[in-house]
């Protein structure tokens, strides 16, 4: 099971706007991480978050969270006055991925994103976008919450960031 937690705040929704996928440079080998040594704070850079949210992310906070089956998820959180972002990484397989999807607060939709991983789901709401993917034996959750209006452009940007993160995993 994936722990999906949002940072506090209020939000308003906007359903207008279209989405497009920005391009991101191919990650350098220095970002490569693998298996149980995955550091979620190493998977996303300050530049990645500036591109996603449009402002400086500040310093990340690393933590851990227990998950069913005795495993431990590694978590990295960035919080600003207007948005929050979480990367969660845990050991995973198709069963844990399916459990994460069924435990999500609203129905996820399958998003066809080539090269992202072995399985993917995305959940969008007016103030929260969650992208989860399984790559090898690693389950990754990217969660973006916005405390101010118009998250309509985030889905495509989060999908692009997912591709960047998947490229940094060498599993």
For residue range 111-166, what is the model confidence (pLDDT) as tens digits?
A: 667 788 888 888 877 778 888 999 998 999 999 988 755 555 677 788 889 989 99
Our measurement of the distance from residue 141's CA atom to the centroid of its chain's CA atoms, rounded to an integer in Å, reads 4
Q: What is the pLDDT of residue 49?
A: 95
Q: Does 3.30.160 match the CATH number of domain 29-168? A: no
**CA 88, CA 141: separation in Å to the nearest integer?**
5
Tens-place pLDDT, residues 24-63: 333 333 344 434 578 999 999 999 999 998 899 999 999 9
Calpha distance 165→126 (Å, rounded): 24
pTM: 0.70
Q: In this predicted structure, what is the pLDDT of residue 2?
A: 39
What gap in Å lies between CA 121 and CA 143, rounded to an integer?
A: 12
Pair of tokens at residue 134: 């399984």
């Amino acid at each position: 099971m994936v722990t999906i937690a949002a940072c506090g705040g209020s939000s308003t929704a906007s359903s207008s706007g279209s989405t497009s996928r920005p391009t991101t440079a191919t990650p350098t080998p220095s970002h490569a991480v693998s298996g149980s040594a995955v550091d979620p704070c190493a998977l996303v850079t300050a530049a990645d978050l500036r591109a996603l949210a449009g402002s400086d992310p500040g310093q990340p906070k690393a933590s851990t969270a227990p998950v069913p089956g005795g495993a431990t998820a590694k978590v990295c959180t960035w919080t600003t006055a207007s948005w929050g972002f979480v990367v969660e990484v845990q050991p995973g397989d198709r069963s844990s991925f399916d459990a994460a999807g069924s435990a999500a607060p609203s129905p996820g939709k399958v998003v066809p994103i080539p090269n992202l991983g072995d399985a993917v789901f995305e959940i969008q709401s007016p103030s929260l976008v969650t992208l989860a993917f399984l790559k090898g034996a690693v389950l990754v959750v990217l969660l973006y919450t916005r405390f101010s209006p118009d998250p309509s452009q985030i889905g495509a940007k989060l999908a692009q960031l997912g591709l960047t993160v998947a490229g940094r995993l060498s599993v």
